[in-house]
Structure 1
Amino acid sequence: MNQPDAGLELSIVVPVYRSATILPELVRQVREAMAAEGLDGRFELILVNDASPDDSWPVIRSLAAGHGFLRGIHLRKNVGQHNATIAGLHHARGRIVAIMDDDLQHPPDALGDMVRALDQGHDVCYTRYLNRQHRWWRQAGSRFNDWVATRLLGKPRGVYLSSFKALRREIVDEVIKYDGPYTYLDGLILDVTHAVTAVDVVHRPRHDGKSTYTLRRLLSLWAKMATSFSILPLRLASYLGFLMAGLSLAMVVFVVVAKFMNPDYPQGWASLIAAVLFIGGVQTLCIGMIGEYLGRAYLKLNGRPQFVIGTTTWTERGADGGTRVR
Structure 2
Amino acid sequence: MKLSMIIPCYNEEKNVELFYERVKEVFADHNFEYEYIFINDGSSDQTYEVLKQLAQLHKESNITVLNFSRNFGKESAMYAGLKESIGEYALIIDADLQQDPAYALSMMEILDKSEEWDSVAAYQKERLEGKILRSFKKTFYHLINKISQVEFVDGASDFRLLRRSMVEAILSLPENNRFSKGIFSWVGFHTYYMPYDVHDRANGKSSWSFWKLMKYAIEGFVSFTTAPLRLATMLGILCSFVSFVYLFVVIMEKVLMKIEIPGYATVICLILLIGGIQLFCVGIMGEYLARTYLEAKHRPLFVQRNKIDYKNMK
The answer, yes or no, to whether TM exceeds 0.5 is: yes
Cα pair distance change 1:228/1:204, threshold 3 Å: same
Q: How does 1:187-202 map to 2 (within 5 A)?
A: 187-193=182-188, 195-202=190-197
Contact 2:62/2:310 (<8 A) preserved: no
3-state SS of the aligned residue for 2:303?
Answer: strand
Contact 1:159/1:197 (<8 A) preserved: no
Letter of the structure 2 residue corresponding to residue 110 of structure 1? Y
1:286-324 deviation line (CA, Å, top 9, x unaligned) = 11221221221122212222111111111899xxxxxxx
1:49-87 deviation line (CA, Å, top 9, x unaligned) = 100000000111111123323211101111111111111
Contact 1:51/1:76 (<8 A) preserved: yes
Match of 2:97 in 1: 104
Q: CA deviation at 1:124?
A: 2.5
Give, in whole Å, the separation in 2 of the partners of 1:286 and 1:81.
Answer: 30
Match of 2:265 in 1: 270
3-state SS of the aligned residue for 1:233?
Answer: helix
Contact 1:123/1:193 (<8 A) preserved: no
3-state SS of the aligned residue for 1:163?
Answer: strand
Unmatched 5+ stretches in structure 2: none
Match of 2:3 in 1: 10
Cα pair distance change 1:152/1:194, threshold 3 Å: farther
Unmatched 5+ stretches in structure 1: 1-7, 318-326
Letter of the structure 2 residue corresponding to residue 171 of structure 1? M
Aligned residues: 308
Letter of the structure 2 residue corresponding to residue 229 of structure 1? F
Contact 1:159/1:198 (<8 A) preserved: no
Q: How does 1:241-320 map to 2 (within 5 A)?
A: 241-314=236-309
Give, in whole Å, the separation in 1 of the partners of 2:207 and 2:162.
Answer: 26
Q: How does 1:100-139 map to 2 (within 5 A)?
A: 100-119=93-112, 120=114, 121-139=116-134
Cα pair distance change 1:315/1:29, threshold 3 Å: closer
Match of 1:19 among 12, 33, 41: 12
Letter of the structure 1 residue corresponding to residue 234 of structure 2? Y
Cα pair distance change 1:135/1:208, threshold 3 Å: farther
Give, in whole Å, the separation in 2 of the partners of 1:295 and 1:282.
Answer: 20
1:213-252 deviation line (CA, Å, top 9, x unaligned) = 0122112211221122221211221122112222222222
Higher relative contact order (CA 8 A, sep 6+): 2
Match of 1:148 in 2: 143
What is the percentage of aligned positions where both structures have the same residue? Answer: 27
Give, in whole Å, the separation in 2 of the partners of 1:215 and 1:135.
Answer: 11
3-state SS of the aligned residue for 1:94?
Answer: coil
Q: CA deviation at 1:137?
A: 3.8
Give, in whole Å, the separation in 1 of the partners of 2:27 and 2:141.
Answer: 31
How well do the aligned residues superpose, as a CA RMSD in angstroms? Answer: 2.2
Give, in whole Å, the separation in 1 of the partners of 2:132 and 2:306.
Answer: 37
Q: TM-score, normalised by structure 2?
A: 0.90
Contact 2:36/2:62 (<8 A) preserved: yes
Letter of the structure 1 residue corresponding to residue 67 of structure 2? H
Letter of the structure 2 residue corresponding to residue 296 of structure 1? R
Q: TM-score, normalised by structure 1?
A: 0.87
Cα pair distance change 1:26/1:135, threshold 3 Å: farther
3-state SS of the aligned residue for 1:47?
Answer: strand
